[in-house]
Amino acid sequence: MAVYTHLDAGAMADIVASFDIGQLVSAKGIAEGVSNSNWLIETTGADGKGARFILTMYEFRIELDDLPYFLSLLDHLAGKGCPVPRTIHARDGRLYQLRDAKALALIEFLPGVSVADPTPAQARAVGAALAQLHLAAADFPQTRANGMDRAEWQRLLDACGHDGLTSIDPVLADLVEEALPRLAAQWPEGLPRSVIHADLFPDNVLMLGDRVTGLIDFYFACNDTTAYDVAVTHAAWCFDNAGKAFRADISAALLDGYESVRPLLPEERAALPVLAQGAAIRFTASRAYDWLNTPADALVTRKDPMAFARRLAFYADPANAGIFA
């Protein structure tokens, strides 16, 4: 999340008035993430008791035609009992609206906090929630291709260029240039597919104690290999922020929690070392591109690509393959 576009009080009040959520009380920009502009909105509430929402303006990496998939998926999963925020429909029933050629959507605000240093119990709960999501989405009727697939990793890294990657860290270009063709040759085919979140980092999970209260930020969700989503979540949760320290206790708990709801097939488990390398290079690529291209005046903190380059090196080391056994 971030703020690239600024809306004045009058514009914000007009937007709020298009929903049956009461009158605007306050709007605060959220300076996290890199793809959208976001605000925490407080209103008097439709019942006069007050309410909070998240307003999102889609800036880039979001195609307008994809929004019905993302926003309808939230409603579907919430209806299935998953801890997912509902999309707030406008008075005329629309899922989103356009302002200055950019799409806006309003979603339910959920309680909870994102954990910076998860416990095994919290990791187990996240694994179980991810599996619940995969099962609950089985009958979601819409489909979407993965916009951050291996072809997109290549495009982003090509756009960075060898010199650009080297300017981030002297080892980065050589690391990804070795990994890309190797992963292309090893990438597993024919594994089970489903709707996947594809971005389930700790800051996209809300918790109260050991309970998951919210899975948020579904704007990379798509239909892809289910076990790849497990690998993405593993890479996101099982290391320190710098990608230097692997937490075996979090890894074991996350996988155990997942399998308590949806057991992995033997072929899915066998594919996890390669899928995890793919997850690591995917975020290395997007972070490297953002590192080199984030606007200087954006209210956003760039994320270090090397944190995931180190994860890539860890997963690629044969000595570490046993973490998924």
Q: Give the pLDDT band of residue 117 (cuts 50, 70, 90).
A: very high
Distance CA 46, CA 37 (A): 25
Q: How far apart, in Å, are the Cα atoms of 98 and each of 14, 60, 107, 124, 169?
A: 12, 14, 16, 40, 40
Residue 156 has pLDDT above 80, yes or no: yes
Question: 296 — phi, psi (to 5°)?
Answer: -65, -30
Strand 193-196 versus strand 222-225 pairing type: antiparallel
pLDDT given at position 101: 84
Question: 208 — phi, psi (to 5°)?
Answer: -125, 105
Residue 17 has pLDDT above 70, yes or no: yes
Per DSSP, the three-state class of 188 is coil
Residue with tokens 């984030």: 294
Distance CA 27, CA 21 (A): 14
Per DSSP, the three-state class of 115 is coil
Its sign, for the CA torsion 274, 141, 64, 55, is: negative
Distance CA 40, CA 27 (A): 6
Residue 85 has pLDDT above 60, yes or no: yes
pLDDT given at position 315: 98
Distance CA 226, CA 205 (A): 19
Distance CA 241, CA 224 (A): 26
Residue 97 has pLDDT above 90, yes or no: yes
Neighbouring C-beta atoms of residue 80, cutoff 10 Å: 16
Mean pLDDT of 213-224: 95
Instruction: Name 159's Cβ contacts closer than 8 Å, sequence gap at least 6.
Output: 289
pTM for the full predicted model:
0.92
For all residues of the chain together, what is the average pLDDT? 93
List the CATH code of the domain at 120-324.
Answer: 3.90.1200.10
pLDDT given at position 299: 57
Question: 293 — phi, psi (to 5°)?
Answer: -130, 0
9-108 to CATH, choices 3.40.1380.10, 3.40.50.10470, 3.30.200.20, 3.40.309.10: 3.30.200.20
Residue by residue, DSSP assigns 81-92 as T-S-PPEEPPTT
Mean pLDDT of 26-38: 77
pLDDT given at position 205: 98
Task: Say if CB 191 and CB 268 are below 8 A apart.
Answer: yes
Mean pLDDT of 122-135: 98
10, exposed or middle or buried, with CB in 10 Å at 0-12, 13-18, 19+?
exposed
Domain ranges of the chain: 9-108, 120-324
Task: Say if CB 278 and CB 150 are below 8 A apart.
Answer: yes
Neighbouring C-beta atoms of residue 185, cutoff 10 Å: 7
Per DSSP, the three-state class of 44 is coil
Distance CA 47, CA 51 (A): 9
Closest CA to 224 of 294, 143, 291: 143
pLDDT given at position 32: 61
Distance CA 161, CA 158 (A): 5
The two structure tokens encoding residue 323: 């973490």
